[in-house]
Amino acid sequence: MECILLAAGYATRLYPLTENLPKALLMLGSKTILDRVCEKIEEIPEVNNIYIVTNHRFADQLAEWAAAYSGKKPVKVLDDGTTSNDNRLGAIGDIQYVIEKENISDEILVMASDNVFDFSLNDMVQMYREKDCDLISAHYVDDLVDLRQMGVVELAPDGRVTGFVEKPAEPKTNWGVPPFYFYKKETLALIRQYLAEGNNPDAPGHLIPWLIQRTPVYAYTFDVMTIDIGTPKTYAEAQKLFD
CA distance 25 to 203: 21
Could you report the per-residue pLDDT of 29-71, keeping only the tens digit for each?
999 999 999 999 999 999 999 999 999 999 999 999 999 999 9
DSSP-derived letter for residue 174 is S
pLDDT for 4: 98
CATH number for the domain spanning 45: value is 3.90.550.10
Could you report the per-residue pLDDT of 189-223, keeping only the tens digit for each?
999 999 999 999 998 889 999 999 999 999 999 88
The domain total for the chain is 1
The DSSP secondary structure of 70-131, one letter per residue, reads -SSS-EEEEE----STTS---HHHHHHHHHHHTT--S-EEEEESSEEESS-HHHHHHHHHHH
Domain that holds residue 61: 2-241
Average pLDDT score over residue span 160-185: 94
